[in-house]
Amino acid sequence: MENIKKINLGNNINLTLIPTSKFKSNLVSIYIQRLLDKGEATKNALIPAVISNGCEKYPSRKEISRELDYLYGSSFGADITKRGERQVISFKIISTNEKYLDENIFKDVIEFFNEMVNNPLVIDGGFKEEYLKIEKENLKSRIQAKINDKRSYAHDKCFKAMCEGERYSISEYGYEDEIDAITSKELYEHYMNILKTSPIDIVVEGNFEEDEVKNIISKNFEFDRAAVIDIPREKYTKNIENVKVIEEKMDIAQGKLVMGYRTNIDYMDTKKYYALVVASNVLGGGPHSKMFVNIREKESLCYYIFSSIEKYKAILFVSSGIETQNYEKTVDLVKKQLESIQAGDISSEELENSKVGLINSMKTIKDSIGGLSDFYFAQAMGKTNSTVEEIIDNIANVKKEDIVEVSKGIVLDTVYFLRN
Protein backbone atom coordinates (compact mmCIF):
# COMPACT_ATOMS: atom_id res chain seq x y z
CA MET A 1 0.00 0.00 0.00
CA GLU A 2 1.26 3.47 -0.89
CA ASN A 3 2.27 5.74 1.99
CA ILE A 4 0.59 8.84 0.60
CA LYS A 5 1.01 12.20 2.31
CA LYS A 6 -1.32 15.13 1.69
CA ILE A 7 -0.20 18.58 2.74
CA ASN A 8 -2.14 21.84 2.57
CA LEU A 9 0.26 24.57 1.44
CA GLY A 10 -2.37 27.27 1.99
CA ASN A 11 -4.38 29.39 -0.45
CA ASN A 12 -6.14 26.29 -1.79
CA ILE A 13 -2.88 24.73 -3.00
CA ASN A 14 -2.58 21.08 -2.06
CA LEU A 15 0.57 18.95 -2.18
CA THR A 16 0.38 15.16 -2.51
CA LEU A 17 3.52 13.07 -2.04
CA ILE A 18 3.58 9.55 -3.52
CA PRO A 19 6.76 7.70 -2.53
CA THR A 20 7.76 4.81 -4.79
CA SER A 21 11.11 3.19 -5.55
CA LYS A 22 9.80 1.48 -8.67
CA PHE A 23 11.11 4.05 -11.16
CA LYS A 24 14.41 5.79 -11.86
CA SER A 25 12.60 9.09 -12.39
CA ASN A 26 10.65 11.57 -10.30
CA LEU A 27 7.50 13.21 -11.65
CA VAL A 28 6.08 16.53 -10.50
CA SER A 29 2.60 17.40 -11.77
CA ILE A 30 0.54 20.56 -11.38
CA TYR A 31 -3.21 20.27 -11.93
CA ILE A 32 -5.24 23.48 -12.23
CA GLN A 33 -9.02 23.12 -12.17
CA ARG A 34 -11.51 25.33 -14.01
CA LEU A 35 -15.26 24.96 -14.24
CA LEU A 36 -16.24 24.11 -17.82
CA ASP A 37 -17.61 27.36 -19.18
CA LYS A 38 -18.35 28.31 -22.77
CA GLY A 39 -16.91 31.78 -22.21
CA GLU A 40 -13.42 30.53 -21.36
CA ALA A 41 -13.11 26.94 -22.62
CA THR A 42 -11.30 27.92 -25.83
CA LYS A 43 -8.86 30.17 -24.00
CA ASN A 44 -8.13 27.47 -21.45
CA ALA A 45 -7.40 25.01 -24.26
CA LEU A 46 -4.83 27.38 -25.79
CA ILE A 47 -2.94 28.11 -22.59
CA PRO A 48 -0.89 24.91 -22.03
CA ALA A 49 0.40 24.94 -25.60
CA VAL A 50 1.32 28.64 -25.58
CA ILE A 51 3.09 28.28 -22.22
CA SER A 52 5.16 25.38 -23.59
CA ASN A 53 6.81 27.63 -26.21
CA GLY A 54 8.79 29.77 -23.80
CA CYS A 55 9.02 31.74 -20.56
CA GLU A 56 10.86 34.90 -19.51
CA LYS A 57 14.04 33.03 -18.57
CA TYR A 58 13.87 30.48 -21.41
CA PRO A 59 12.08 32.36 -24.22
CA SER A 60 12.18 29.68 -26.92
CA ARG A 61 11.79 25.93 -27.30
CA LYS A 62 15.49 25.76 -28.13
CA GLU A 63 16.46 27.33 -24.80
CA ILE A 64 13.92 25.19 -22.94
CA SER A 65 15.41 22.10 -24.55
CA ARG A 66 18.94 23.19 -23.65
CA GLU A 67 17.98 23.64 -19.99
CA LEU A 68 16.18 20.30 -19.88
CA ASP A 69 19.29 18.63 -21.31
CA TYR A 70 21.34 20.32 -18.60
CA LEU A 71 18.92 18.83 -16.06
CA TYR A 72 20.00 15.33 -17.17
CA GLY A 73 17.41 14.93 -19.89
CA SER A 74 14.37 16.07 -17.94
CA SER A 75 11.16 16.50 -19.91
CA PHE A 76 8.38 19.10 -19.62
CA GLY A 77 4.83 18.82 -20.91
CA ALA A 78 1.46 20.54 -20.65
CA ASP A 79 -2.07 19.57 -21.63
CA ILE A 80 -5.77 20.26 -21.29
CA THR A 81 -8.24 17.56 -20.28
CA LYS A 82 -11.87 17.26 -19.30
CA ARG A 83 -12.98 15.59 -16.08
CA GLY A 84 -16.70 15.69 -15.53
CA GLU A 85 -17.70 19.35 -15.82
CA ARG A 86 -14.19 20.66 -15.28
CA GLN A 87 -11.32 21.57 -17.54
CA VAL A 88 -7.97 20.63 -16.05
CA ILE A 89 -4.81 22.40 -17.17
CA SER A 90 -1.84 20.20 -16.31
CA PHE A 91 1.90 20.82 -16.32
CA LYS A 92 4.35 17.96 -15.75
CA ILE A 93 8.09 17.56 -15.44
CA ILE A 94 9.96 14.25 -15.27
CA SER A 95 13.55 14.21 -14.03
CA THR A 96 16.12 11.55 -13.21
CA ASN A 97 16.06 10.46 -9.59
CA GLU A 98 18.98 11.99 -7.69
CA LYS A 99 19.89 8.56 -6.30
CA TYR A 100 21.22 7.73 -9.78
CA LEU A 101 23.20 10.98 -10.18
CA ASP A 102 26.31 12.52 -8.68
CA GLU A 103 24.53 15.76 -7.79
CA ASN A 104 21.24 17.05 -6.43
CA ILE A 105 19.08 18.52 -9.19
CA PHE A 106 15.57 18.52 -7.69
CA LYS A 107 15.78 22.16 -6.58
CA ASP A 108 16.96 23.18 -10.07
CA VAL A 109 14.15 21.15 -11.64
CA ILE A 110 11.54 22.88 -9.48
CA GLU A 111 13.04 26.31 -10.20
CA PHE A 112 12.79 25.59 -13.93
CA PHE A 113 9.23 24.30 -13.50
CA ASN A 114 8.26 27.46 -11.62
CA GLU A 115 9.72 29.64 -14.39
CA MET A 116 7.66 27.82 -17.03
CA VAL A 117 4.39 27.95 -15.11
CA ASN A 118 4.54 31.26 -13.26
CA ASN A 119 6.74 33.47 -15.45
CA PRO A 120 5.54 33.08 -19.04
CA LEU A 121 7.08 35.06 -21.87
CA VAL A 122 5.25 38.39 -22.06
CA ILE A 123 5.69 41.06 -24.74
CA ASP A 124 3.74 44.35 -24.56
CA GLY A 125 1.37 42.97 -21.94
CA GLY A 126 0.51 39.74 -23.73
CA PHE A 127 1.83 36.37 -24.84
CA LYS A 128 4.22 36.40 -27.78
CA GLU A 129 2.11 36.82 -30.93
CA GLU A 130 4.18 34.34 -32.93
CA TYR A 131 3.59 31.59 -30.37
CA LEU A 132 -0.11 32.34 -30.05
CA LYS A 133 -0.57 32.26 -33.82
CA ILE A 134 1.13 28.86 -34.08
CA GLU A 135 -0.92 27.38 -31.24
CA LYS A 136 -4.18 28.73 -32.62
CA GLU A 137 -3.57 26.72 -35.79
CA ASN A 138 -2.56 23.68 -33.75
CA LEU A 139 -5.75 23.91 -31.70
CA LYS A 140 -7.82 24.12 -34.88
CA SER A 141 -6.04 20.99 -36.12
CA ARG A 142 -6.72 19.24 -32.83
CA ILE A 143 -10.44 20.04 -33.07
CA GLN A 144 -10.52 18.90 -36.70
CA ALA A 145 -8.71 15.67 -35.82
CA LYS A 146 -11.46 14.89 -33.33
CA ILE A 147 -14.06 15.50 -36.03
CA ASN A 148 -12.16 13.32 -38.52
CA ASP A 149 -12.03 10.46 -36.01
CA LYS A 150 -15.61 9.31 -36.55
CA ARG A 151 -15.73 7.14 -33.43
CA SER A 152 -14.74 10.14 -31.30
CA TYR A 153 -17.03 12.42 -33.32
CA ALA A 154 -20.06 10.19 -32.73
CA HIS A 155 -19.33 9.96 -29.02
CA ASP A 156 -19.08 13.76 -28.79
CA LYS A 157 -22.30 14.30 -30.72
CA CYS A 158 -24.14 11.87 -28.45
CA PHE A 159 -23.08 13.47 -25.17
CA LYS A 160 -23.64 16.99 -26.53
CA ALA A 161 -27.21 16.10 -27.46
CA MET A 162 -27.71 14.16 -24.26
CA CYS A 163 -26.34 16.94 -22.02
CA GLU A 164 -27.70 19.94 -23.91
CA GLY A 165 -27.83 22.87 -21.50
CA GLU A 166 -25.40 21.13 -19.11
CA ARG A 167 -21.75 22.12 -18.76
CA TYR A 168 -20.70 18.61 -19.74
CA SER A 169 -21.74 19.37 -23.34
CA ILE A 170 -18.79 21.79 -23.65
CA SER A 171 -15.67 20.40 -25.36
CA GLU A 172 -12.33 20.49 -23.56
CA TYR A 173 -10.88 22.07 -26.72
CA GLY A 174 -13.42 24.87 -26.85
CA TYR A 175 -14.87 26.15 -30.12
CA GLU A 176 -13.06 26.57 -33.42
CA ASP A 177 -15.03 29.67 -34.41
CA GLU A 178 -13.79 31.50 -31.28
CA ILE A 179 -10.07 30.88 -31.74
CA ASP A 180 -9.12 33.70 -34.13
CA ALA A 181 -10.69 36.45 -32.00
CA ILE A 182 -8.61 35.69 -28.89
CA THR A 183 -5.86 38.29 -28.39
CA SER A 184 -2.47 37.72 -26.79
CA LYS A 185 -3.19 40.29 -24.06
CA GLU A 186 -6.62 38.83 -23.32
CA LEU A 187 -5.19 35.32 -23.05
CA TYR A 188 -2.31 36.39 -20.80
CA GLU A 189 -4.62 38.29 -18.44
CA HIS A 190 -6.93 35.28 -18.34
CA TYR A 191 -4.02 32.99 -17.45
CA MET A 192 -2.90 35.29 -14.65
CA ASN A 193 -6.45 35.18 -13.27
CA ILE A 194 -6.44 31.38 -13.52
CA LEU A 195 -3.25 31.17 -11.42
CA LYS A 196 -4.77 33.47 -8.81
CA THR A 197 -8.25 31.99 -8.49
CA SER A 198 -8.15 28.27 -9.36
CA PRO A 199 -7.79 25.25 -7.07
CA ILE A 200 -4.25 23.90 -7.60
CA ASP A 201 -2.92 20.43 -6.83
CA ILE A 202 0.80 19.63 -6.91
CA VAL A 203 1.61 15.91 -6.96
CA VAL A 204 5.11 14.44 -6.59
CA GLU A 205 5.69 10.79 -7.46
CA GLY A 206 9.04 9.04 -7.06
CA ASN A 207 11.84 8.17 -4.65
CA PHE A 208 12.59 11.23 -2.52
CA GLU A 209 13.05 12.66 0.98
CA GLU A 210 9.61 13.96 1.92
CA ASP A 211 10.64 16.93 4.08
CA GLU A 212 13.18 18.08 1.50
CA VAL A 213 10.63 17.92 -1.32
CA LYS A 214 8.00 19.76 0.70
CA ASN A 215 10.45 22.54 1.60
CA ILE A 216 11.77 22.95 -1.95
CA ILE A 217 8.28 23.11 -3.44
CA SER A 218 6.85 25.47 -0.83
CA LYS A 219 9.82 27.83 -1.22
CA ASN A 220 10.17 27.78 -5.00
CA PHE A 221 6.63 27.97 -6.36
CA GLU A 222 5.58 31.61 -6.54
CA PHE A 223 1.82 31.49 -6.96
CA ASP A 224 0.23 34.92 -6.53
CA ARG A 225 -3.17 34.02 -5.05
CA ALA A 226 -6.49 35.82 -4.65
CA ALA A 227 -9.94 34.53 -3.65
CA VAL A 228 -10.14 30.99 -5.03
CA ILE A 229 -13.28 29.97 -6.92
CA ASP A 230 -15.47 27.19 -5.59
CA ILE A 231 -16.16 24.51 -8.20
CA PRO A 232 -19.54 22.89 -7.52
CA ARG A 233 -20.24 19.19 -7.77
CA GLU A 234 -21.77 18.06 -11.07
CA LYS A 235 -25.49 17.36 -11.17
CA TYR A 236 -25.60 13.63 -11.86
CA THR A 237 -29.32 12.79 -11.68
CA LYS A 238 -31.94 13.33 -14.36
CA ASN A 239 -35.41 11.97 -15.00
CA ILE A 240 -35.90 10.87 -18.61
CA GLU A 241 -39.35 11.33 -20.13
CA ASN A 242 -38.52 10.81 -23.80
CA VAL A 243 -35.56 9.13 -25.48
CA LYS A 244 -33.73 11.35 -27.97
CA VAL A 245 -33.06 9.59 -31.29
CA ILE A 246 -30.63 11.36 -33.62
CA GLU A 247 -29.42 10.25 -37.05
CA GLU A 248 -26.75 12.06 -39.02
CA LYS A 249 -25.61 11.25 -42.53
CA MET A 250 -22.01 11.47 -43.68
CA ASP A 251 -19.86 9.89 -46.36
CA ILE A 252 -18.42 7.11 -44.20
CA ALA A 253 -17.67 3.42 -44.71
CA GLN A 254 -18.92 2.27 -41.31
CA GLY A 255 -21.82 3.50 -39.19
CA LYS A 256 -21.14 4.67 -35.63
CA LEU A 257 -23.75 3.98 -32.98
CA VAL A 258 -23.61 5.58 -29.52
CA MET A 259 -26.26 5.06 -26.86
CA GLY A 260 -26.21 7.21 -23.72
CA TYR A 261 -27.82 5.98 -20.50
CA ARG A 262 -28.43 7.84 -17.24
CA THR A 263 -27.54 5.73 -14.21
CA ASN A 264 -28.23 8.30 -11.45
CA ILE A 265 -25.54 6.62 -9.33
CA ASP A 266 -23.47 8.85 -7.05
CA TYR A 267 -19.79 7.90 -7.36
CA MET A 268 -19.40 8.76 -3.67
CA ASP A 269 -21.75 5.88 -2.83
CA THR A 270 -18.95 3.31 -2.93
CA LYS A 271 -21.06 0.16 -2.90
CA LYS A 272 -23.42 1.27 -5.66
CA TYR A 273 -20.77 2.92 -7.81
CA TYR A 274 -18.49 -0.12 -7.99
CA ALA A 275 -21.51 -2.35 -8.60
CA LEU A 276 -22.21 -0.06 -11.58
CA VAL A 277 -18.59 -0.35 -12.75
CA VAL A 278 -18.83 -4.14 -12.70
CA ALA A 279 -22.28 -4.03 -14.35
CA SER A 280 -20.83 -1.99 -17.23
CA ASN A 281 -18.03 -4.52 -17.59
CA VAL A 282 -20.48 -7.43 -17.69
CA LEU A 283 -22.42 -5.52 -20.35
CA GLY A 284 -19.53 -4.43 -22.58
CA GLY A 285 -16.13 -4.62 -20.94
CA GLY A 286 -14.33 -7.08 -23.18
CA PRO A 287 -14.46 -10.47 -24.93
CA HIS A 288 -16.30 -12.00 -21.96
CA SER A 289 -19.09 -9.38 -21.99
CA LYS A 290 -22.69 -9.90 -23.05
CA MET A 291 -22.57 -7.42 -25.93
CA PHE A 292 -19.33 -8.81 -27.33
CA VAL A 293 -20.48 -12.44 -27.13
CA ASN A 294 -24.11 -11.98 -28.23
CA ILE A 295 -23.93 -9.05 -30.66
CA ARG A 296 -20.44 -9.20 -32.15
CA GLU A 297 -19.64 -12.92 -32.02
CA LYS A 298 -22.98 -14.71 -32.29
CA GLU A 299 -24.82 -12.24 -34.54
CA SER A 300 -21.80 -10.68 -36.32
CA LEU A 301 -23.56 -7.32 -36.27
CA CYS A 302 -20.68 -5.03 -35.36
CA TYR A 303 -16.98 -4.40 -35.87
CA TYR A 304 -16.55 -3.32 -32.25
CA ILE A 305 -18.82 -2.79 -29.27
CA PHE A 306 -18.09 -1.68 -25.71
CA SER A 307 -19.55 0.23 -22.77
CA SER A 308 -17.93 2.91 -20.62
CA ILE A 309 -18.86 5.08 -17.65
CA GLU A 310 -18.55 8.84 -17.22
CA LYS A 311 -18.03 8.71 -13.47
CA TYR A 312 -18.75 12.31 -12.55
CA LYS A 313 -21.97 12.60 -14.58
CA ALA A 314 -23.22 9.05 -13.83
CA ILE A 315 -23.59 8.29 -17.55
CA LEU A 316 -23.08 4.93 -19.22
CA PHE A 317 -22.20 4.95 -22.92
CA VAL A 318 -22.46 2.08 -25.39
CA SER A 319 -20.38 2.56 -28.55
CA SER A 320 -20.40 0.37 -31.65
CA GLY A 321 -19.28 0.31 -35.28
CA ILE A 322 -21.94 -1.24 -37.52
CA GLU A 323 -23.29 -1.45 -41.04
CA THR A 324 -26.23 0.91 -41.57
CA GLN A 325 -28.67 -1.95 -42.25
CA ASN A 326 -27.88 -3.44 -38.82
CA TYR A 327 -28.85 -0.32 -36.87
CA GLU A 328 -32.29 -1.30 -35.55
CA LYS A 329 -31.30 -4.87 -34.71
CA THR A 330 -28.17 -3.71 -32.88
CA VAL A 331 -30.09 -1.15 -30.81
CA ASP A 332 -32.66 -3.80 -29.94
CA LEU A 333 -29.99 -6.31 -28.91
CA VAL A 334 -28.12 -3.76 -26.77
CA LYS A 335 -31.37 -3.12 -24.90
CA LYS A 336 -31.88 -6.86 -24.47
CA GLN A 337 -28.38 -7.34 -22.99
CA LEU A 338 -29.10 -4.69 -20.36
CA GLU A 339 -32.51 -6.20 -19.68
CA SER A 340 -30.90 -9.59 -19.08
CA ILE A 341 -28.59 -8.04 -16.48
CA GLN A 342 -31.57 -6.30 -14.85
CA ALA A 343 -33.33 -9.68 -14.71
CA GLY A 344 -30.35 -11.27 -12.95
CA ASP A 345 -29.15 -13.31 -15.93
CA ILE A 346 -25.48 -13.08 -14.95
CA SER A 347 -23.39 -16.22 -14.85
CA SER A 348 -20.70 -16.72 -12.22
CA GLU A 349 -18.18 -16.80 -15.07
CA GLU A 350 -19.35 -13.42 -16.44
CA LEU A 351 -19.17 -11.90 -12.97
CA GLU A 352 -15.74 -13.32 -12.19
CA ASN A 353 -14.22 -12.42 -15.58
CA SER A 354 -15.53 -8.87 -15.24
CA LYS A 355 -14.08 -8.40 -11.77
CA VAL A 356 -10.72 -9.94 -12.72
CA GLY A 357 -10.46 -7.67 -15.77
CA LEU A 358 -11.22 -4.56 -13.73
CA ILE A 359 -8.83 -5.54 -10.93
CA ASN A 360 -6.01 -6.21 -13.40
CA SER A 361 -6.67 -2.82 -14.97
CA MET A 362 -6.45 -1.15 -11.55
CA LYS A 363 -3.13 -2.87 -10.87
CA THR A 364 -1.62 -1.41 -14.06
CA ILE A 365 -1.99 2.09 -12.58
CA LYS A 366 1.27 1.45 -10.75
CA ASP A 367 3.14 0.13 -13.80
CA SER A 368 4.27 3.46 -15.25
CA ILE A 369 5.20 6.75 -13.66
CA GLY A 370 2.28 9.15 -13.67
CA GLY A 371 -0.41 6.54 -13.15
CA LEU A 372 -0.60 7.12 -9.41
CA SER A 373 -0.30 10.89 -9.83
CA ASP A 374 -3.37 11.04 -12.06
CA PHE A 375 -5.18 8.56 -9.82
CA TYR A 376 -4.66 10.52 -6.61
CA PHE A 377 -5.44 13.84 -8.26
CA ALA A 378 -8.76 12.34 -9.43
CA GLN A 379 -9.41 11.18 -5.86
CA ALA A 380 -8.71 14.68 -4.54
CA MET A 381 -10.82 16.35 -7.22
CA GLY A 382 -13.75 14.08 -6.50
CA LYS A 383 -13.31 14.47 -2.74
CA THR A 384 -12.86 10.73 -2.32
CA ASN A 385 -9.93 9.19 -0.51
CA SER A 386 -9.73 5.63 -1.77
CA THR A 387 -6.42 3.90 -2.41
CA VAL A 388 -5.85 1.55 -5.33
CA GLU A 389 -6.06 -1.38 -2.91
CA GLU A 390 -9.37 -0.18 -1.48
CA ILE A 391 -10.89 0.13 -4.94
CA ILE A 392 -9.68 -3.37 -5.80
CA ASP A 393 -11.42 -4.61 -2.63
CA ASN A 394 -14.58 -2.71 -3.57
CA ILE A 395 -14.63 -4.40 -6.97
CA ALA A 396 -13.88 -7.84 -5.53
CA ASN A 397 -16.76 -7.52 -3.06
CA VAL A 398 -19.44 -6.74 -5.67
CA LYS A 399 -22.16 -9.39 -5.68
CA LYS A 400 -24.61 -10.36 -8.40
CA GLU A 401 -27.53 -8.84 -6.48
CA ASP A 402 -25.64 -5.52 -6.21
CA ILE A 403 -25.33 -5.42 -10.00
CA VAL A 404 -29.01 -6.25 -10.50
CA GLU A 405 -30.04 -3.49 -8.09
CA VAL A 406 -28.03 -0.71 -9.75
CA SER A 407 -28.80 -1.89 -13.29
CA LYS A 408 -32.53 -1.48 -12.71
CA GLY A 409 -31.97 2.27 -12.43
CA ILE A 410 -30.14 2.56 -15.79
CA VAL A 411 -32.37 4.44 -18.23
CA LEU A 412 -31.80 5.16 -21.93
CA ASP A 413 -31.51 8.89 -22.65
CA THR A 414 -30.10 9.30 -26.17
CA VAL A 415 -29.45 7.18 -29.26
CA TYR A 416 -27.09 8.74 -31.82
CA PHE A 417 -26.33 7.10 -35.16
CA LEU A 418 -23.83 8.38 -37.71
CA ARG A 419 -24.65 6.64 -40.98
CA ASN A 420 -23.79 6.71 -44.66
Q: Per-residue pLDDT averaged across 284-301, rounded? A: 97
For residues 274 and 395, the answer to whether their CB atoms sit within 8 Å is yes
* Average pLDDT of the residues of the chain: 97
- The CATH number for 244-419, chosen from 3.10.20.90, 3.50.50.100, 3.30.830.10, 3.90.120.10, is 3.30.830.10
Alpha helices in 285-415 (DSSP H): 290-291, 327-342, 348-363, 371-381, 388-396, 400-407
Q: Per-residue pLDDT averaged across 59-86, rounded? A: 98
Pairing of strands 411-419, 244-249: parallel
Q: Where along the chain do its domains lie? A: 5-220, 244-419
The whole-number pLDDT of residue 289 equals 98
Of all residues in the chain, the percent with pLDDT exceeding 70 is: 100
Superfamily for 5-220?
Metalloenzyme, LuxS/M16 peptidase-like (3.30.830.10)
Higher pLDDT: 90 or 3? It is 90
- pLDDT grade, residue 99 (50/70/90)? confident
Q: Per-residue pLDDT averaged across 371-396, rounded? A: 97
For residues 304 and 150, the answer to whether their CB atoms sit within 8 Å is no
270-284 helix and 327-342 helix, angle to the nearest 10 degrees: 140
The whole-number pLDDT of residue 128 equals 98
* Domains 5-220 and 244-419 alike in fold: yes
* Cβ count within 10 A of residue 1: 7
For residues 19 and 54, the answer to whether their CB atoms sit within 8 Å is no
CA distance 254 to 269: 39
Say whether pLDDT at 408 is over 70.
Answer: yes
The whole-number pLDDT of residue 2 equals 67
184-197 helix and 129-148 helix, angle to the nearest 10 degrees: 80
Q: Is the dihedral of CA 357, 359, 360, 366 positive or negative?
A: positive
- pLDDT grade, residue 102 (50/70/90)? confident
CA distance 69 to 75: 9
Closest CA to 105 of 52, 26, 29, 201: 26
